[in-house]
C-alpha cells in the first residue's frame, strides 16, 4: 500500500454471501479492503482469510483498539494469525498500546485513528495532533484523518510530509453535522493530500440507481482524474 493512492473499500456488510458478492464485484476498482468490528464480531477472524482468498487484496482490520497493551497485543496477534495486512488502533490508547500491537503486524502496517468524521466526536484537535506525533515517533505506517475535513487533511499532510500514509474515512457518505448534511465527493480527500479514500456505503449501498460495481468504477475514475491519470 505504500507509494500508491486509491480506494480502501469499507466492507461493512453483515450478510456473508452479499459481502462476498459485492466485494468480488468491486475488487477491480479498489486497492484494499477494510473489515470493521461489526463484521468481525459476526463472522470471526476467518472472514479475513476468506476475503483475501476471494480477492488477493490487502485486508485491514478496523479494530479501533483502545485497551491496555497486554490485551491489545493479544488481539493484534490474533489478527496477524488470521492473515491481516494491517490494523487500525485508537490513538487515545497511547504509545505503549500502539507499540505492543506493532510487534505482530508485518511491515509496521498499523494505522492510528486520530479523529472522528462526525461533529459529535470528543477528540479535540490538540489530542489528534498528539496521536499523529505518536505515529511518527513509533514508525507506524499511517494515520486516519477524517475525509469530511479537507482543510485538516491539508494541514496534516504538510505536517507529516511523506512519512505517513493518510487514509480518510467518511468519503461519499452523508452525515449530519450541525444539523446540515455533509457530503464528500469521490477524489476530494486525495486532492487534499490523502493517499487512500475509505469508501463504504457510497459503494455497497449507493443512493442512486447505480450498482456497487458502477459506484466503485465512478469513484476510481474520479480519483484517477484528480491524480491526472487517464487510463480508466
C-alpha cell at 176: 449530519
Q: Among candidates 113, 37, 116, which has minimal Cα distance to 79?
A: 37
How do residues 73-101 score in pLDDT, each as one tens digit? 999 999 999 999 999 999 999 999 999 99
Q: Decide which of 121 and 125 is more confident.
A: 125
Nearest 5 degrees, angle CA 143-CA 218-CA 6?
25
Contact 196, 6 (CB under 8 A): yes
Mean pLDDT of 177-188: 72
Query: Domain 6-226 falls in which CATH fold?
Result: TIM Barrel (3.20.20)
What average pLDDT does range 103-125 have in this prediction? 89
Other Cβ atoms within 10 Å of 123 Cβ, number: 15
Q: pLDDT grade, residue 181 (50/70/90)? A: low
Catalytic residue among 64, 126, 180, 230: 64
pLDDT 10s digits, 12-30: 999 999 999 999 999 999 9
pLDDT of 213 > 70? The answer is yes
Q: Which pLDDT score, from 0 to 100, does residue 180 have?
A: 59
Mean of all residue pLDDT scores within the chain: 92
User: Has 64 been annotated as catalytic?
Assistant: yes
Q: Pick the more confident residue, 178 or 185.
A: 185
Amino acid at each position: 500500500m505504500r507509494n500508491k493512492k486509491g480506494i480502501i473499500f469499507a466492507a461493512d456488510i453483515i450478510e456473508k454471501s452479499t459481502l462476498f458478492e459485492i466485494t468480488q464485484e468491486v475488487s477491480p476498482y479498489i486497492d484494499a479492503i477494510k473489515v470493521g468490528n461489526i463484521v468481525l464480531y459476526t463472522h470471526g477472524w476467518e472472514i479475513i482469510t476468506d476475503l483475501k482468498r476471494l480477492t488477493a487484496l490487502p485486508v485491514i482490520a478496523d479494530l479501533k483498539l483502545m485497551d491496555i497493551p497486554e490485551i491489545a497485543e493479544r488481539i493484534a496477534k490474533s489478527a496477524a494469525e488470521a492473515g491481516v495486512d494491517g490494523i487500525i488502533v485508537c490513538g487515545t490508547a497511547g504509545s505503549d498500546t500502539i507499540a505492543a500491537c506493532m510487534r505482530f503486524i508485518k511491515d509496521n502496517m498499523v494505522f492510528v485513528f486520530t479523529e472522528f468524521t462526525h461533529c459529535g466526536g470528543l477528540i479535540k484537535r490538540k489530542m489528534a495532533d498528539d496521536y499523529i506525533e505518536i505515529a511518527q515517533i513509533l514508525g507506524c505506517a499511517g494515520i486516519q484523518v477524517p475525509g469530511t475535513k479537507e482543510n485538516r487533511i491539508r494541514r496534516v499532510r504538510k505536517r507529516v510530509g511523506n512519512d505517513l500514509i493518510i487514509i480518510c474515512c467518511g468519503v461519499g457518505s452523508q452525515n449530519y453535522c450541525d444539523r446540515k448534511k455533509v457530503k464528500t465527493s469521490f477524489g476530494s480527500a486525495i486532492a487534499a493530500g490523502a493517499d487512500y479514500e475509505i469508501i463504504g456505503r457510497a459503494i455497497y449501498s449507493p443512493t442512486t440507481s447505480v450498482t456497487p460495481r458502477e459506484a466503485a468504477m465512478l469513484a476510481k475514475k474520479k480519483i484517477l482524474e484528480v491524480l491526472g491519470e487517464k487510463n480508466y
